[in-house]
Structure 1
Amino acid sequence: MITLHHLNNSRSQRILWMLEELEVPYQIERYQRDPHTMLAPEALRRVHPLGKSPVLTDDDLTLAESGAIIEYLQETYDAQGLLKPTDHFARQHYRYWLHYAEGSLMPLLLMKLIFSRLGKPPVPLLVRPVAGAIGKGMQKAWLDKQIAVHRDYLEKALQENPWFAGREFSAADIQMSFPLEALNSRSGLEGAPALADWLKRAQARPAYQRALAQGGPYELAGAQ
């Protein structure tokens, strides 16, 4: 039996989406972030040593990392191959976006989140003004420009095809959902109509909506 160890407002939301697209039976173990630190609870370390989410267990298998989990679910439970392209070139795009999501885009968005919080708790009160100024300066001087390059790159990709791997929806779109929702939340999609349209269509899918109902409150879903 598949069990998803699900942390609120986390990457595990897209694994719920993948499971709903596949329409396979699963159960959820729920975990809540610490409201002050926003970190995952220590209980997750009993499932996986890194204490991160998502973690998926399937009988004797314990698997972490969103991309690895998505590939495992597609290979194991997508008997009809609905979520992976059959065309050779589309499949290479599919593989690329599966890795790009966490390898290239999310590190920038994580830095954006960290720098934006330098002037806030739990940073000590006395250093918040200086830390906040440093954070804003780094964002303006370098980080926002890098994110803009990626936003333009993604916009061009979706002007050429409606979905990331080509003409058809695939698991690559599921993998890309979290960083694009984070991008929309932290930088916005103004001037990127193809990206905004992709997000609207992705979030309108019935399986996405079922995943929201299963996962509970998910702040990034409404950040449009």
Structure 2
Amino acid sequence: MLTVHHLNNSRSQRVLWLLEELELPYGIKFYERDSLTRLAPPALRAAHSLGKSPVLVDGDATIAETGAIVEYLVDKCGGRLRPESGTPERRRWTYWMHFAEGSLMPQLLLDLVLSSAPGRAPEAMREAVKAATDGTRHGYVAPNLKAMFDLVEGELTKSPWFAGEDFSAADVMLSFPLETAGARAGAFQGRPRVAAFVERIHARSAYRKALAKGGPYAYAE
């Protein structure tokens, strides 16, 4: 039996969704973020030493990192939701699989850290911290995010899905970054195709089944 170590409002929602798309049976071990720090609980370290979600357990195999889990599950199903090797669609698939966590998520996380830093600083220092973090956000992070959001919008003019005309695991990988980007970083503003992509994935029956099993998920609205 496959078991997903699932943290609420996290990347692990994608893994539940993929399992539903692949029609694989699985169980869920639930974890809740700390209400103050928003971090995962220490108990997750029993599944993987870094204490981060998702973690997938399949018999004696323990797999961490969403991209690695996605590829493991696609392989397990004989290559379902992955274009044929050597095709243009496969090259697109590989690029967007890695773009999700290699390019987009680091910038989104940096923006989140910088925007929340003033509120965590001592009251006497908040204005100074805000001035410093705003400078970095507006001078570095915002231009990078704009370029990435525009790239995604342009890609979706070519086809409805990131690897071509057919839905694939690359779309699953991009779901969490684009959901959070729309909710927190203005990715939908002036980019109708990005917004429409998120609406399409939210309408999929497998996505709705994963929501029902995984519990409340802030980015599904």
TM above 0.5, yes or no, is: yes
2:167 corresponds in structure 1 to 169
Give the Å deviation of 1:220.
Answer: 1.6
Rounded Cα–Cα distance in structure 2 between residues aligned with 1:206 and 1:177: 15
Cα root mean square deviation, aligned: 1.1
Match status 1:44 vs 2:44: yes
Give the Å deviation of 1:82.
Answer: 3.6
The number of residue pairs the alignment matches comes to 219
TM-score, length-scaled by structure 2: 0.96
Match status 1:75 vs 2:106: no
TM-score, length-scaled by structure 1: 0.94
Match status 1:106 vs 2:111: no
Indicate if the aligned counterparts of 1:112 and 1:143 stay in contact, CA closer than 8 A.
Answer: yes
Rounded Cα–Cα distance in structure 2 between residues aligned with 1:149 and 1:186: 16
Indicate if the aligned counterparts of 1:117 and 1:132 stay in contact, CA closer than 8 A.
Answer: no
Match status 1:147 vs 2:145: yes
Q: How does 1:58-97 map to 2 (within 5 A)?
A: 58-76=58-76, 78-79=77-78, 81-86=79-84, 88-97=87-96
Rounded Cα–Cα distance in structure 1 between residues aligned with 2:81 and 2:170: 8
Runs of 4+ in 1 over 6 A off after TM superposition: none
Matched residue type, 1:152: D
Indicate if the aligned counterparts of 1:74 and 1:83 stay in contact, CA closer than 8 A.
Answer: yes
Name the SS of the counterpart of 2:3 in structure 1.
strand
Name the SS of the counterpart of 1:117 in structure 2.
helix
Rounded Cα–Cα distance in structure 1 between residues aligned with 2:183 and 2:136: 19
Please list the CA deviations of residues 148-198 of structure 1 after superposition, one character each: whole Å capped at 9, or x if unmatched: 011111100000111000110000000010111111012221111111111
Give the Å deviation of 1:219.
Answer: 1.0
Rounded Cα–Cα distance in structure 2 between residues aligned with 1:31 and 1:126: 35
Structure 2 residue ranges without an equivalent (≥5): none
2:203 corresponds in structure 1 to 204
Rounded Cα–Cα distance in structure 1 between residues aligned with 2:73 and 2:196: 27
Give the Å deviation of 1:28.
Answer: 0.2
1:158 corresponds in structure 2 to 156
Rounded Cα–Cα distance in structure 2 between residues aligned with 1:3 and 1:124: 42
Give the Å deviation of 1:89.
Answer: 1.2
Rounded Cα–Cα distance in structure 2 between residues aligned with 1:216 and 1:166: 31
Name the SS of the counterpart of 2:88 in structure 1.
helix
Structure 1 residue ranges without an equivalent (≥5): none
2:189 corresponds in structure 1 to 190
